[in-house]
Amino acid sequence: MLKKIIFTLSILLITGVSAQEKLEKIIIAGPAANVSHPIFRIMKSGALNNVAKKVEFKLWNNPDQLRAMIINKEVDFVAVPTNVAAILYNKKQPIQLLNVSIWGILQILVRDKNIDSIEKLKGKSLVVPWRGDMPDIVLQTVMKQKGISKKDINLIYVSNPMDAAQQLIMRRQDNALLPEPAVSMVLRKTHSFPVSIIAPELYRGIDLQKEWGEAFKTESKIPQAGMAVVGDMR
């Protein structure tokens, strides 16, 4: 509820809209992930009814699509990985991060319940979505800190988390790095008929936030995503 209030107040302050006037439309973009959930709640509750006549949600499926939305100013607000916001801001693009709401949603699902650390993935394959973006950045940073190279783990890149999830469900691969809610979705599907027949048990083998904390001897939290405003805030 607090995040919802903060976000709503941020929109009011940024747009400068009073109770007597309304914007024609506010466009908010986000992925199919936890960082978008406050947006859905705000839209469903009508919290922005006094701000705009219409509030529209746009789904982005990959970071390239997200970058295009921001650069072309197709949206007013966006749920965004922190690395994308930082890179575009430093390139003088029209974006400013309002908050960080996601501090840990990356897990590695495994078929072998004995795999509970990055080290135990040596000699195995791992499906990773969004090459060069947040999941991949976190994974490779942890690997480097632990002295593990790409020669030790065969990284198989796919375009998005749903593709990675499908690899697991269809038994094409045994290990995949996924964000929530894809993790919960895969586990739920593999326990239901008829998927349960073709997809053996899967496990939440590796918490990447925990691996980060152990590797860097720090808190198991990573600033992964938040809400940003697109355009001039003045």
What's the maximum distance between 2 C-alpha atoms anywhere in the chain? 64
The pLDDT assigned to 170 comes to 86
The pLDDT assigned to 1 comes to 43
The answer to whether residues 87 and 122 belong to one domain is: no
The pLDDT assigned to 34 comes to 87
Axis-axis angle for helices 63-71, 82-90 (nearest 10)? 40
The answer to whether residues 73 and 124 belong to one domain is: no
| pTM, entire model | 0.85
User: Alpha-carbon distance 64 to 130, whole Å?
Assistant: 9
User: Alpha-carbon distance 50 to 93, whole Å?
Assistant: 29
CB 139 within 8 A of CB 207: no
Q: Is the pLDDT of residue 167 over 50?
A: yes
The answer to whether residues 80 and 132 belong to one domain is: no
Q: Range of 50's domain?
A: 2-103+223-230
The answer to whether residues 211 and 110 belong to one domain is: yes
The answer to whether residues 148 and 126 belong to one domain is: yes
The answer to whether residues 209 and 110 belong to one domain is: yes
The answer to whether residues 112 and 97 belong to one domain is: no
Count of domains observed in the chain: 2
Axis-axis angle for helices 37-45, 2-15 (nearest 10)? 70
The pLDDT assigned to 230 comes to 93
List the beta strands (DSSP E) in 60-212.
77-81, 95-97, 106-110, 125-129, 154-158, 175-179, 203-207
The answer to whether residues 90 and 137 belong to one domain is: no
